Amino acid sequence: MVRDFAGLRALVTGGGSGIGRATAELLAARGALVAVLDLDPAAVEKPLLGFRADVTDDTSVRAAVAAAAAGLGGLDVLVNNAGIGARGTVEDNDDGEWLRVLDVNVLGIVRTTRAALPHLRESAYAAIVNTCSVAATAGLPQRALYSASKGAVLSLTLAMAADHVREGVRINCVNPGTVDTPWVGRLLDAAPDPVAERAALEARQPTGRLVSAAEVAGAIAHLASPLSGATTGTALAVDGGMQGLRLRPV
């Protein structure tokens, strides 16, 4: 395993589960000191540091980021990964649901980034990676609110990258497709026949299988690594070819 994060300090939001947890573990395996910020840090195991915070609460975000930076001795990498989903068309979600999802998925990134930037500017290898989604640009049915939130994450990533490039802070995002995490597990469990639903979901993927959390973690680590020092303002698809390939039924 390449030790490209040796001596670097990383904070992963939503790091208690799924993509965030896989990312925290991969960065640690590649040499980073890692802290995790989550609503539920109980799942976090040593040597990762766990901090409880809600990304919709600016006070708790500031406290957790300060504690993480103090515990790690600074910050080089921020992974803005915490997020929640929503189903439906514009007629299905009320204003409260819209504000709730935008608060977590978009403003959550704004809050953690605002709190982390003073620490990141002190780093020689500063990088932020946001977990976006294929939903940002794919035009998925029944995902109006979620897609709008991830569209905002994509444009926020590009704008922040422009604002902070001369400060030496690289900012990119990953666009996962359908990833086999507890989140997707919950959606499948809610279906009348979870086994058949999983098979149908897999059949819709160009690769014939779901993306793994470890594969998204690999892409996040790639963008956060000092080896990617010239990469900023990009979105990396990790979707098993969902968007890049133009497959048609034969």
Q: Binding residues for ligand NAD, per CB under 6 A?
A: 14, 16-20, 38-40, 54-56, 81-84, 104, 131, 133, 176, 178-179, 181-184
CA-closest candidate to residue 34, choices 55, 13, 52, 53: 13
Q: What's the min distance (Å) between Cβ of 226 and ligand NAD? A: 24
Q: What's the min distance (Å) between Cβ of 121 and ligand NAD? A: 24
CA 70 to chain centre: 23
> For residue 116, what is the enclosing H or E element?
helix 108-120
- Report residue 185 as tokens: 């597990």
CA 110/CA 194 separation, integer angstroms: 36
Let me know how long the chain is: 250
Q: Measured from the CB atom, is 61 or 72 closer to ligand NAD?
A: 61
CA 25/CA 48 separation, integer angstroms: 8
Q: Measured from the CB atom, is 150 or 164 closer to ligand NAD?
A: 150
Q: What's the min distance (Å) between Cβ of 7 and ligand NAD? A: 27
Q: Measured from the CB atom, is 38 or 76 closer to ligand NAD?
A: 38
Diameter over CA atoms, the chain: 57
Which is catalytic among the residues 53, 128, 146, 177? Answer: 146
Q: What's the min distance (Å) between Cβ of 249 and ligand NAD? A: 23
Pairing of strands 179-180, 211-212: parallel
- Report residue 241 as tokens: 């070819």
Is 125 catalytic? The answer is no
CA-closest candidate to residue 29, choices 51, 8, 49, 5: 5
- Report residue 240 as tokens: 């098993």
Cβ-based neighbour number of residue 237 at 10 Å: 17
Q: What's the min distance (Å) between Cβ of 71 and ligand NAD? A: 18
DSSP for residue 38: E
Query: Does residue 173 contact residue 248 with C-beta atoms inside 8 Å?
Result: no
Q: Measured from the CB atom, is 111 or 125 closer to ligand NAD?
A: 111
Active site residues: 146
